[in-house]
Amino acid sequence: MNLRDIHTPVMLERCIELLAPALERDGAVFVDATLGMGGHSEAFLQRFPKLQLVGLDRDTDALRIAGERLAPFGDRVHLVHTVYDGIADAVTASGFAAADGILFDLGVSSLQLDVPGRGFAYAQDAPLDMRMDQSAGTTAADILATYGEGDLRRIFERYGEEKLAGRYARAIIAARAESPIERSGRLVEILQAATPAAVQRTGHPAKRVFQALRIEVNRELSVLERAVPSALGILPVGGRIVVLSYQSLEDRLIKRAFADASASTAPKGLPVELPEHAPKFRLLVKGAELATDEERAVNPRATPVRLRAAERVRPEHAEGAA
């Protein structure tokens, strides 16, 4: 398996451009909160010869592959097996007080999608696992076997934004009464049979259900809600963060977190903004930035990406604040 053939880092040059001002000093610390197979990290380590990397991933296979890929960089590389809401503890455990630059490349990784047997891809028949960390937790098959109709409908609606959530939940309950739903191929068959022909022409009926199951299995949104404030909290003045999102639920969460961080906390009507109320971050891009047409042509996985970035401009506790 050639890693460079199956893993093309999304918006790599733009990520480097945005984070470079924070990483150019000797000994700067870069946190790749979603290490995957190390494509982004390898490029950053090459571009900044004095950079220290803290790479996080919950997937032990990813950590092993990235460790081999990044071995030439020696003691500049610090890899941590953790979910990314553990970012602050991971940085401390690696021997650093703060992070100068942070990158989140959210969603499912190339490794999880492309390597057979993980159950993430509806185009491949495999056991319905979907755990990013295969050493612990509930599988997608477990959810399909134990959740009631109401809970299945809830996750399909909330995490998949699926209009046919109720129909699919009922179909799954009926099908599992005959035999357990343990493979992705069987789940796809159930969903296709429950989908009106007119709807099937508008896209694959399994796409949103598989997304919803993956998010539920890995608790992705609740983890992200904790991870972003934690990441912002370990950036010093001048520190920068870039987040790549691939679906609207993630992007809305990031948009809201960055908007809160870059807003004044001064009460309305206050004639002068006191230092403790001034925004602590500034946004580095207007809205969400998209991949270029050229990048989407070369790397189809960049098609849905939404990039947001911010820089800390004031310390967490301003001098003179109560």
Q: Give residue-wise pLDDT tens across range 250-270.
A: 999 999 999 999 997 666 766
| pLDDT reading at 57 higher than 90 | yes
Where is the binding site for S-adenosyl-L-methionine, in residues?
Answer: 38-40, 57, 84, 105, 112
What CATH number does the domain containing 178 carry?
1.10.150.170
Q: Are residues 241 and 291 in the same domain?
A: yes
Instruction: Determine the Cα–Cα distance for residues 108 and 23; give it in Å rounded to an integer.
Output: 27
Instruction: Determine the Cα–Cα distance for residues 100 and 242; give it in Å rounded to an integer.
Output: 12
Predicted TM-score of the model (pTM): 0.88
Q: Which domain covers residue 41, as residue numbers?
A: 3-111+220-312
| pLDDT reading at 4 higher than 70 | no
Q: Are residues 11 and 94 in the same domain?
A: yes
The secondary structure of 45-83 as a DSSP string is: HHH-TT-EEEEEES-HHHHHHHHHHHGGGGGGEEEEES-
pLDDT band per the 50, 70, 90 thresholds, residue 322? very low
* 144 found inside a domain: yes
Where is the binding site, in residues?
Answer: 38-40, 57, 84, 105, 112
Q: What is the pLDDT of residue 119?
A: 59
Helix, strand or coil, per DSSP, at residue 10: coil
Q: Are residues 188 and 249 in the same domain?
A: no
Four-residue CA torsion sign, 68, 4, 22, 238: negative
Instruction: Determine the Cα–Cα distance for residues 232 and 187; give it in Å rounded to an integer.
Output: 39
**Which of the listed residues 218, 234, 260 is the one where a domain comes to its end?**
218
Amino acid at 157: E
Domain count across the chain? 2
Q: Are residues 163 and 187 in the same domain?
A: yes
Task: List, in order, residues 6 or more apart from 314 with CB less than 8 Å away.
Answer: 237, 275, 278, 279, 280
pLDDT band per the 50, 70, 90 thresholds, residue 206? confident
Mean confidence (pLDDT) of the chain:
89
| pLDDT reading at 82 higher than 70 | yes
**Which of the listed residues 181, 203, 218 is the one where a domain comes to its end?**
218
Q: What is the pLDDT of residue 44?
A: 98
**DSSP assignment, residue 236?**
P
> What percent of the chain has a predicted confidence (pLDDT) above 70?
88
| pLDDT reading at 1 higher than 50 | no
Q: What is the pLDDT of residue 7?
A: 63
Instruction: Determine the Cα–Cα distance for residues 272 and 81; give it in Å rounded to an integer.
Output: 46
Q: Are residues 224 and 107 in the same domain?
A: yes
3-state secondary structure 73-133: HHHHEEEEECCHHHHHHHHHHCCCCCCCEEEEECCCCHHHHHCCCCCCCCCCCCECCCCCC
